[in-house]
Amino acid sequence: MIKKKYFIIYSIILIACLIFGVGRCLKIVYPMHYQDYVIKYSNEYDIDPYLVYSIIKAESKFFPYAESNREAKGLMQISDITKNWAQDELQMGYINIFNPETNIKIGCWYISKLFKQFDDTDLVIAAYNGGSGNVDKWLKDQRYSKNGINLQKIPFKETNDYVNKVNKFYKRYKDIYEK
């Protein structure tokens, strides 16, 4: 039953790609929803908007009311700790973390903080998922980092998979939209 369901879905996608073209289908699979906010805040915090889209796709698949089992919320899955930190540092009043603009603003601000700390996209992505404290520990551990600058191995499977997923999405976004 499940195989039949997937066969039907993939058949519909294939037919749509044949009718509308592969490029258009790829833009459906890799959308750029909330473009005004992503562009505004990625520019404000000097980060690549394709990275923001890749993180949103990985975190919430563009569903603004997403909530994780660890209580991260919204498009970019902002934790309460990060929300409160942003609220203080950015001098924001009441925050509705499910508001797409607010969520993207805080997510971009946080990514920029991580870039100032790590200055490496893979480390930033790992820290976004696994925590900056963990990334710091891994960089100091010879089992995971030979030079204290790059990670040869990420000990958390979830974080390792996340880095790979976001990088795959990032490459696809660039391939699709930079033409």
Q: Name the pLDDT band for 3 (thresholds 50, 70, 90).
A: confident
State the chain's mean pLDDT as an integer. Answer: 92
Domain ranges of the chain: 1-30, 31-177
Residue 161 confidence (pLDDT): 97
**Any idea how long the chain is?**
179
CB neighbourhood size of 33 (10 A): 14
Q: What is the CATH number of domain 31-177?
A: 1.10.530.10
pLDDT tens digits for range 68-95: 999 999 999 999 999 999 999 999 999 9
**DSSP-assigned states of every residue in 118-143:** H--HHHHHHHHHH-HHHHHHHHT-TT
Confidence (pTM): 0.88
